Amino acid sequence: MIVEAVELFHVRLPLVFPFETSFGREDDKDCLLVRVEAGGRAGWGEVSTMPAPLYNEETNATAWHVLADFLIPALLGKDVRPGDLPDRFRAIRRHHMAKAGLEAALWDLQAQEQGTSLARALGGTRDRIEVGVSLGIEPALGELLDRVDRFLPQGYRRVKLKIKPGWDVEVVRAVRRHFGDIGLQVDANSAYTLADAPVFRAMDDEGLLMIEQPLAEDDIVDHAQLQAQLKTPICLDESIVTPDDARKALDLGSCRVINVKQARLGGVTNAVRVHDLCQRRGVPVWCGGMLETGVGRALNLALASLPNFSLPADLSASDRYFEQDIIDPPVSLGPDGTIAVPDGVGLGFRVLEDRIGRVTLRHARFKATRGRPAGSARPGKTAARRRPEPEGGRAPGATRRPGEPGRRPPG
Ligand code: OSB
Ligand code: MG
């Protein structure tokens, strides 16, 4: 497909309740969306960056910069396939979430072009995904117990608790005491060091499904030492940013489970590679989340339909995150704790462009240059000139549709 135009949207949607992790608190889903036009169709992707570099090193601002000045100019006017992007972008180091958002939009387009669902285009085999709910750190234990009590009856297959020093063993024990034999796991987002091994040994008898990312994101050596002291599987999230990282962590014994997030891995192509590697080695994976909007969630549902995604996903219903999602219909949970994999063409949901317009803080459109060889847009200069609006040019609540002709720059 020839990439004719790309649009970026910086969006902010209020979360139904704040989400606190060991690295910080989020009140809104504040990220970028990418819309790519090719062959008379439009594909959508999500860039899972956040305002601050707390989960990984990227931010919304770095992703905007790298997309506008490097990644988008490298694709405009070119004939590309989503599976080629890791190779095409090899020279541009890291910036995985920026790359993943663009690749996501191309996967949507490719599935549309093939007249099939994204799940089918990726080789998915399931039509429903077992899912769990990820619950943040609360001001007090009572509030967390109330949250678990609200979500469990909805059918979620397991609960993931965010932990940090001072909010760990006692919290896990209390949830166990209250709710008995539920599927339970914890996620530390790198808040501990090997010196905290006693904390994890104390949790080791609580029957946790896994302990996610206890130690530093760049430390698979200490994770191997910790894993050797525990019965509970360690699951790595932040530490695995390439397929090679997955191989090394498995070789070292740093984990027994991997959380596959296509955003962190730089796109679906590499996520599928990690899935396949783990499948060959008998290591289960599950689909992680970043509190995605419906656009990112639709892609994650398709990805999670691959066969080795054998543990419940961090993919909850739209109403766990937002009052109003940006896709139609919203994602809903079945009483058996599963979510249907969409079987419509592409993402399988209608992307609500009007609603996206209302939550957009900044928008830009980049077009293949006319009168010059296709795709010769120079990074930086041309991209900057094409930005139709100054930074922050669109107030939340604006009602114009994104991509409306009147808003495009002349020429
Ligand atoms: O570590 O898995 C994580 C959200 C933001 C950043 C990191 C993480 C998360 C989640 C969200 O746990 C899970 C979800 O999307 O429901
Ligand atoms: Mg995690």
Report the amino acid identity of residue 278: C
**Higher-scoring residue by pLDDT: 136, 405:** 136
Distances in whole angstroms, Cα of residue 379 to Cα of each of 66, 69, 72, 340, 396: 9, 4, 8, 41, 29
Atom 6 in ligand 1: residue holding the nearest Cα: 290
The model's confidence at residue 386, banded by pLDDT at 50, 70 and 90, is: very low
Residue 169 sits at the vertex; the CA angle it makes with 164 and 171, to the nearest 5 degrees, is 80
CA atoms within 13 A on the CB side of 214: 31
Average pLDDT for 109-121: 98
Ligand sitting nearest the alpha carbon of 23:
1
Q: Which of 21, 22, 316 to mutate to test the pocket of ligand 1 (most atoms within 8 A of CB)?
A: 21
399 alpha carbon – ligand 2 mean position (Å): 35
Q: Yes or no: say if 316 and 290 are a contact pair by the CB < 8 Å rule.
A: no
Q: Yes or no: say if 63 and 49 are a contact pair by the CB < 8 Å rule.
A: yes
Angstrom distance (rounded) from CA 46 to CA 359: 14
For 385, the token pair is: 């000139």
261 alpha carbon – ligand 2 mean position (Å): 9
The model's confidence at residue 170, banded by pLDDT at 50, 70 and 90, is: very high
371 alpha carbon – ligand 2 mean position (Å): 47
Question: Using a 6 Å cutoff on CB, does residue 237 contact ligand 1?
Answer: yes
Atom 9 in ligand 1: residue holding the nearest Cα: 290
Distances in whole angstroms, Cα of residue 197 to Cα of each of 153, 200, 223, 351: 34, 5, 10, 46
> How do beta strands 128-130 and 338-340 pair?
antiparallel
Q: Yes or no: say if 331 and 291 are a contact pair by the CB < 8 Å rule.
A: no
pLDDT value at residue 369: 85
Tell me the whole-structure pTM to 2 decimals: 0.90
Q: Yes or no: say if 341 and 119 are a contact pair by the CB < 8 Å rule.
A: yes
pLDDT value at residue 308: 98
Sign of CA dihedral 255, 336, 348, 352: negative
345 alpha carbon – ligand 1 mean position (Å): 27
> Which atom of ligand 1 is found nearest the CA of 321?
16
pLDDT value at residue 165: 98
86 alpha carbon – ligand 2 mean position (Å): 23
Domains and CATH numbers, the chain: 5-115+351-407 (3.30.390.10), 120-350 (3.20.20.120)
Cis peptide before 329 (omega within 30 of 0): yes
pLDDT value at residue 339: 98
Place of tokens 């209250």: 178
Average pLDDT for 203-222: 98
Inform me whether the pLDDT recorded for 134 exceeds 60: yes
- Catalytic residues, by residue number, are 162, 261
Question: Using a 6 Å cutoff on CB, does residue 134 contact ligand 1?
Answer: yes
290 alpha carbon – ligand 1 mean position (Å): 4
Question: Using a 6 Å cutoff on CB, does residue 289 contact ligand 1?
Answer: yes
CA atoms within 13 A on the CB side of 269: 19
Atom 5 in ligand 1: residue holding the nearest Cα: 290
Question: Using a 6 Å cutoff on CB, does residue 189 contact ligand 1?
Answer: yes
Angstrom distance (rounded) from CA 331 to CA 132: 14
DSSP 409: P
Inform me whether the pLDDT recorded for 380 exceeds 60: no
pLDDT value at residue 376: 42
Q: Which of 28, 290, 315 to mutate to test the pocket of ligand 1 (most atoms within 8 A of CB)?
A: 290
DSSP 231: S
Over residues 333-372, the pLDDT tens digits come to 999 999 999 999 999 999 999 999 999 999 999 999 864 4
Over residues 218-246, the pLDDT tens digits come to 999 999 999 999 999 999 999 999 999 99
Angstrom distance (rounded) from CA 45 to CA 105: 4
The model's confidence at residue 179, banded by pLDDT at 50, 70 and 90, is: very high
Question: Using a 6 Å cutoff on CB, does residue 316 contact ligand 1?
Answer: yes
Ligand sitting nearest the alpha carbon of 55:
1
DSSP 82: G
> Which atom of ligand 1 is found nearest the CA of 26?
5
Q: Which residues pair with 14 in a beta bridge?
A: 28
Average pLDDT for 40-50: 98
Q: What backbone torsions phi and psi does residue 348 show, to the nearest 5 degrees?
A: 85, 5
Atom 13 in ligand 1: residue holding the nearest Cα: 289
Ligand sitting nearest the alpha carbon of 291:
1
Atom 12 in ligand 1: residue holding the nearest Cα: 134
pLDDT value at residue 145: 98
17 alpha carbon – ligand 1 mean position (Å): 14
Inform me whether the pLDDT recorded for 402 exceeds 60: no
Task: Return the closest-CA partner of residue 106 out of 88, 137, 133, 85.
Answer: 85
Atom 1 in ligand 1: residue holding the nearest Cα: 189
